Amino acid sequence: MAEKILMKGNEAIAHGAIRCGADGYFGYPITPQSEVMETLMEEKPWETTGMVVLQAESETSSINMVYGGATTGKKVMTSSSSLGISLMAEGLSYLAGAELPCVVVNVMRGGPGLGTIQPGQADYFQAVKGGGHGDYKMIVLAPASAQDMYDFVGLGFDLAFKYRIPAMILSDGVIGQMMEKVELGEMKPRRTAEEIREQCPWALTGKTSDRNRNIITSLALDPNVQERTNIRLQEKYKAIQENEVRYTTYMVEDAEYLFVAYGSMSRICEAAVDQAREAGYKVGLLRPVTLFPYPEKQICDLVPQLKGILTVEMSAGQMVEDVRLAVNGKVPVEFFGRNGGIVPSPDEVYEAFVKLFNK
């Protein structure tokens, strides 16, 4: 078995990038995710795998460097936190419109505005419902451990290239700053130019005489062409919804009440489940791992056994809307959250459960 190393979630992102064969990282520092670029700079992957690491002059610049890199079929990524992601919104919409694969990491902090540097989960709508303009979606992965941070970089690239879509890793300050054991996987080599030409026939790899030129754009002045793009995008999102839902459960078999939480809050809810079980309440937890595609069917399937659902977030209530859509009024859905950078403790979640369901 591979050696387990103690590292921060942010450091795990950097190691995940190097080891999954990423070609480039472009970023701009911001708390609580600056260790991503710091680690990459320390590891100097340009001397080993040839991966490019570049500090851009702003987040706007980073995301457009990602756009440029992605057009050539390279595995490119960036990372930032909340307000930095807002600056990238235009670029994300362009990437989605041009159907370009990439990985974007958001280690969320409390907002709105400059907000706080403490953890938050209030960028759910931005990530899942589209922070930029137009009918687009990204694959959104929500890590709950440092190991997830490591694993999801590779997974994010795999899914992004499979569907030609941006993939976002939606993390938060807890997961980014926390150190845990991480098992590093095998070092995957970067793809060769030949492999990219073969696997990404759409990419800008230099026109050869045996094919037409490739055009990457998100612009179509003819509305008929633009509508066809939209139809294709929607079909793609439908296929992703059908095939790529990921989630985990904890003690749901006999559960009468369900906590739904993602990322760091799923960890806190796990402890709250233990507390509720000790007090004799049959509570379970469902943790969506993919936020798009959302495990709506999986939540709905649990409805017959449930008396109530408590959604817990570090926000004023965002994902709770998707839980309510999933169960469509068949079971009461309550919400508990703290925001502005406050991380609720397991005790608080348990007490909210007791109060909201009149236990």
Partner 1 sequence: MLIIPVQFSVGMKKWTKMKVELIIAGFGGQGVLSMGKILAYSGIMQDMEVSWMPSYGPEMRGGTANVTVILSDKKIGSPILGKCDTVIVLNQQSMDKFESYVKPGGLLLYDPNGITRHPQRKDINVCSIDAAEESARMGNLKAFNMIVLGAFLKKNPVVSLESVVKGLQKSLPQRHHHLIPMNEEAIKVGMDKVVDVNVL
Q: How many CB atoms lie within 10 A of CB 162?
A: 15
CB of 269 to partner 1, least distance (A): 8
Residue 257 near residue 358, CB atoms below 8 Å: no
Of the pair 34, 86, the CB lying nearest partner 1 is at: 34
Give the residue with the Cβ less far from partner 1, 108 or 174. 174
Q: Residues in the site for partner 1, rule: CB under 8 A?
A: 4, 6, 31-32, 116-118, 173-174, 177-181, 264, 267-268, 270-272, 274, 341, 343, 345-348
**Closer to partner 1 at the Cβ: 196 or 268?**
268
Q: Is 229 or 266 the residue whose CB approaches partner 1 more closely? A: 266
C-beta of 294 vs 350, nearer to partner 1: 350
Question: Beta strand 179-183 with 257-260: parallel, antiparallel or unpaired?
Answer: unpaired
Are 297 and 245 in contact by the 8 Å Cβ rule? The answer is: yes
Alpha carbons 295 and 2: distance in angstroms, whole number: 32
Q: Are 247 and 148 in contact (CB under 8 A)?
A: no
- The distance of closest approach from Cβ of residue 247 to partner 1 in the complex, given in angstroms and rounded to an integer, is 17
277 Cα distance to chain centroid: 30
Q: Where are the alpha helices (DSSP H) in the chain?
A: 9-19, 35-43, 59-71, 82-87, 89-97, 124-128, 146-163, 173-177, 193-199, 223-243, 264-278, 296-301, 319-327, 346-356
